[in-house]
Structure 1
């Protein structure tokens, strides 16, 4: 995956390992729109990334050229997923930035260019976090300076902890994104709203 000249060099951690309990255990990552799964749509949204890792189960189909890993133990939360993703990305050449995305946001592609533009405009920040027009921060639609994110996770057990518990001390600039960009699929009503199957 190539990075255009002048654009931030970034890796991506895609979280796809939840229980989908409100969908009766139906894996969200495998839901489809127009023949593409949610995990495929999420990877499509970051075509400019230097590397991508999907954190999810071994039986989840992922696009070619994408790394795979799993949080340990499984289902131990998004913070543990990010920690596993960071460890897997160590196999690649270093990138200045690391984006974190949940795979259950069908319109997240709308937020990606806004985060990258913010990094170009304010490269000194520890990161840039997607915020809805109502002011709700979404740490799984965010672009963190890799060094700062790794330092926040260093020597800590992420099991069953929130992402915010790791990032609350980082200097994060808020990036307003559309409500639809961070809307996630939690219920069967959401599945129908987003025209998934």
Structure 2
């Protein structure tokens, strides 16, 4: 299954005192590094948010406009970046049929991405020439939908973004509103795979604790005794 990936890394992290979630460390890697690994099978990938610093070769970086305009605006910016990148490559067939949208604040998201990809691949194989829907979205063990962990039909997602732009309703918009017109199937993903980090308590519960060397001295909570 061919897909591109949009990694969302542009939130204010206000409940973390402004410490970028993308730079928090879990099991020896930053959350951004883990998200990029989860999306490693993507043909092209873009990180949307503030300058993330060094990125693997071929990974794009982009910024939503205006900055901190929310995940719907970030998804739109990511689609723009991917489309421009494909258009700039001679002989490129254009964006992949599906786009993985993944927030970078879920340290165990690789398990969710794997199940979503497998489920979508099975659906595509079974659908053949029938309507195959517009993608799949993660649902946690307790039934909570997570739209920032999903594979969406690129053309359908672009239509939704275009409609939202025409209405002037992208900035600070709900991602559920952006996806409302899509025929998306909900897929139950492994326990904990969509748990995200909003507070230092969340970070501690997920095994993210102590100082964060990527951020320099004094960043993050004090080590626990």
- State TM-score, norm by structure 1: 0.92
Matches within 5 A, 1:30-109: 30-90=23-83, 91-92=85-86, 93-109=94-110
Q: 1:189 deviation in Å?
A: 1.4
What is residue 166 of structure 1 aligned with on the other side? 178
Q: Find the counterpart in structure 2 of residue 144 from structure 1.
A: 152
Q: Give the aligned CA root-mean-square deviation in angstroms.
A: 1.3
* CA-to-aligned-CA distance 1:101-145 (integer Å, 9 cap, x gap): 000000000111111112212231111000112221111011001
Give the length in aligned residue pairs: 190
8 Å Cα contact 1:54-1:62 kept in structure 2 = no
2:204 corresponds, among 147, 168, 192, to: 192
SS class of match (1:179): coil
CA contact (8 A) 1:40 1:63 kept: no
Q: Select the residue among 129, 137, 149 that pairs with 1:129.
A: 137
User: d(CA) in 1 for partners of 2:190 and 2:65?
Assistant: 33
Q: Partners in 1 of 2:199 and 2:4 — Cα distance?
A: 30
Give the structure-2-normalised TM-score. 0.81
Gaps in structure 1 of 5+ consecutive residues: 1-7
Rg: which structure is higher?
Answer: 2
Structure 2: runs of 5+ lacking an equivalent:
87-93, 125-131, 213-225
Q: Where has structure 1 moved over 6 Å in runs of 4 or more?
A: none
- Which deviates more from structure 2 when the two are superposed, residues 155-164 or residues 11-20? 155-164
Q: Distance in 1 between matches of 2:21 and 2:8?
A: 11
